[in-house]
Chain A
């Protein structure tokens, strides 16, 4: 056995450099559970490569057949569903781990001198990972993928001058069809993975050449003039330990744990979709992006229309510029997060913002509840003891689909305000005006309601106030009525 090994090493001459790399000294404190995310990302990337190739054996990148081939994978091929699930869950884990890795290196000041380029390549790797997530969602060619592409090209089309060209280039033709899927297949399977592999190699080489970021100590300040020497002391002095085996065992265990978690999610929760067939004539659909793009879905819904195009076009450029420029702006100074309150606050703010948007997208309050008018009845307490006209108004409320946007007693759409106490806020005249003219993001119903329907509807809305609170009244009308009588000022109670 030894002889065979020697025979190969004599020719390959890889043994010595590999042993040297494995045993390269790292600062003792970096043998930490905080330093395992980079290697875990590499492990999951490898899993994605393997499962991706396995899926490519069966998947057909044709708009007419992709969806059926996914059904075959799910149902007709032994454990095809499991490989799909591994790839899908691997993708989610990949993004999560990459983000955690990024937050960790940022909070530990790893982007500072001399590791600026490592950070910049890391940012590019994040972009490619997100690119893989988006193109991967397209390859799961279902309704969400189809309309998701529509959203992608609608955003691209807003780029000045180049927009329309870019749309044709992305789609490979005039519409979302066969050419589009082929393009995204090439991107997802050849172009982006190729770039990813190349950049991962450079990223790893830089980590090896420059050394792993030392554990940041409050007060140990990075200076370009002295840093390299200080780092040398950390690795080659008494604090230096060989990467293998002192640090690596934690990486190995964490990677194994992550792989097991992905396998468990895949086995228990199964593969993602595919959802409905990608038939654009089936419009009874509510397209949603995958988990890691849900925040964007919420942002696109909540931005004011006038801000949207600038935000869409300038926002990503600004974010990218900030990320890429970060190590050059703050290349020196404190590394420890304990001395970098703004860094910590930025991360917290981003986490809260992204978390909030993701949570909001779970129930999409900005979208009308399309079936509320036929599935959520008027609460009985709003009908008891009402006049015929008011009940007729309740009927108008349902039939004209007011319920799709306005909740009553917690049921119905959340696009507009809940109307349980609308009579307290708006007088009769204001209600009529609001219904007929709309405004404040409400459509005008003047053309769609007969005067009788409007009268009935407003009569019903006027009953919507809490038991102890009176309806809103027009004070000026009261004054006008009373002044027309005796000329004295006596507002009604």
Chain B
């Protein structure tokens, strides 16, 4: 075959070969991308959150704020201690509770409750919150993250399972700063 338009049979075959490989690569790319995105796509289907028990409501005396822990609902056998998460339970009175995430609404450090001054304080960048979780001072732009909760058969249940972040991943209701 003579070369007429600058495209010989061999060049065409090379190009077809490259095109074939691009197609195969694209086909292989689909499972690879889906594998990498698994934590994202999985989150969208059943969701990571579920109702968890923090134990009997009797453990939380009225008018006090106490530390509680729960085992995350989605765990791997090799998660170790990291799957046990802390939270702050505030028993206002009667059936009224507030359950705050341990993570500061600024950048996620663990806040500590100081009953003496009725403040949550963060050890990282100096955020502080009032007893009701609203922002008191420091860099946080909002109040503490709060879990939905309910009381079933004398047990305090919260809806949890995902680390709360300022980007509001878990859709945990934003605590509007109340006027102090």
Binding site for B on A (CB under 8 A): 62-65, 146-147, 150-151, 153-159, 163-165, 167-169, 171-179, 277-281, 283-287, 297, 300-301, 303, 305-306, 308-309, 364, 366-368, 370, 373, 399-402, 404, 415, 437-438, 441-448
Contact = CB atoms under 8 A, between A and B. Distances in A.
What's the interface size class on B, roughly? 35 or more
B18 interface: no
Contact of B81 (A153, A281, A442): A281
Given A151-B109, A168-B43, A179-B39, A63 B82 contact: yes
Given A154-B166, A366-B126, A441-B138, 8 more contacts: A65-B80, A157-B168, A168-B169, A173-B48, A174-B43, A174-B161, A280-B84, A444-B136
Chain B interface, >50% SS class: loop
Contacts of A159: 167
Interface in B70-86: 72, 74-86
Interface of B: 36-37, 39-40, 43, 48-49, 67, 69, 72, 74-86, 102-103, 106-112, 114, 116-119, 121-126, 128, 130-131, 136-141, 161-163, 165-169, 180
A283 B163 contact: no
Given A368-B126, A441-B137, A442-B137, A155 B81 contact: no
Contact of A157 (B117, B124, B126, B169): B169
A415 B43 CA distance: 40
Given A308-B139, A441-B137, A278 B81 contact: yes
Contacts of A442: 137
15 contacts: A150-B109, A154-B108, A169-B40, A171-B163, A173-B48, A175-B85, A280-B81, A280-B85, A283-B67, A283-B110, A283-B111, A370-B112, A370-B123, A400-B117, A401-B116
Nearest to A414: B126
Contacts of B81: 64, 277-281
Closest 9 CB pairs of A and B: A64-B80, A157-B167, A150-B108, A443-B136, A157-B165, A174-B48, A163-B167, A174-B162, A301-B125
Q: For the complex, would chain A's binding face be called helix, strand, loop or mixed by DSSP majority?
A: loop
A168 B124 contact: no
Given A62-B78, A157-B166, A280 B114 contact: no
A471 B161 CA distance: 55
Given A147-B108, A285-B123, A158 B166 contact: yes
Contacts of A437: 180
Contacts of A297: 124-125
B91 to A, nearest CB: 17
B89 to A, nearest CB: 14
A157 B137 CA distance: 22
Contact of B124 (A173, A287, A373, A438): A287
Contacts of A151: 107-109, 124
Contacts of B84: 279-281
A279 B162 CA distance: 16
Nearest to A401: B117
A286 B124 contact: yes
Contact of B107 (A146, A150, A174, A448): A150
Most chain B CB atoms below 10 A, which of A147, A277, A286: A147
Contact of A301 (B79, B85, B86, B139): B139
Contacts of B136: 438, 443-444
Contact of A177 (B67, B82, B117): B82
B145 to A, nearest CB: 11
A154 B169 CA distance: 10
Contacts of A306: 141
A43 B39 CA distance: 38
A285 B104 CA distance: 13
